[in-house]
Amino acid sequence: MTDPCIQALLQDWQQTSPELHALAVAIRESVHAIAPEASEQVKYGGLLFSHPNGKDEGFCGIFVYTSHCSVEFGRGAELPNPHQQLQGKGKYRRHIKLNSLADIQTSHLTETLQAAWLLVNQ
């Protein structure tokens, strides 16, 4: 059963922007497919996924904004970026902006999620 806080956030996204809610749900399903054992919680206004033993908080996070969804990677600066899909210039974090369901494929999100999950499992 899903945490009530997660359900409430998903409902809020559904009411605010049905299109972005659908995108966020698809991204969430991708995260669960790659990292089924990752813990999930509502934090910082989005969904934060962490290693189940808590050794690396913030493996990735999903955040819904006015016109896009963002997938944030806490250790994104360490990830391979062959397609230049990762954005940001901070010391550690990187993100991928998605505007539509099609962006899941074109942004190379799946391979980036896989690389991020491998990184936190080292």
- DSSP labels for 37-65? T-EEEEETTEEEEE-TTSSSS-SEEEEE-
> For 56-104, what is each residue's pLDDT tens digit?
667 899 999 999 999 999 999 999 999 999 999 999 999 999 999 999 9
Higher pLDDT, 76 or 121: 76
Single-letter code of the amino acid located at 85: Q
pTM of the model: 0.94
Residue 57 has φ and ψ, to the nearest 5°, of -70, 135
CATH for 4-120, options being 3.90.1150, 1.10.1740, 1.10.10, 2.60.40: 3.90.1150
Mean pLDDT in residue range 47-55: 85
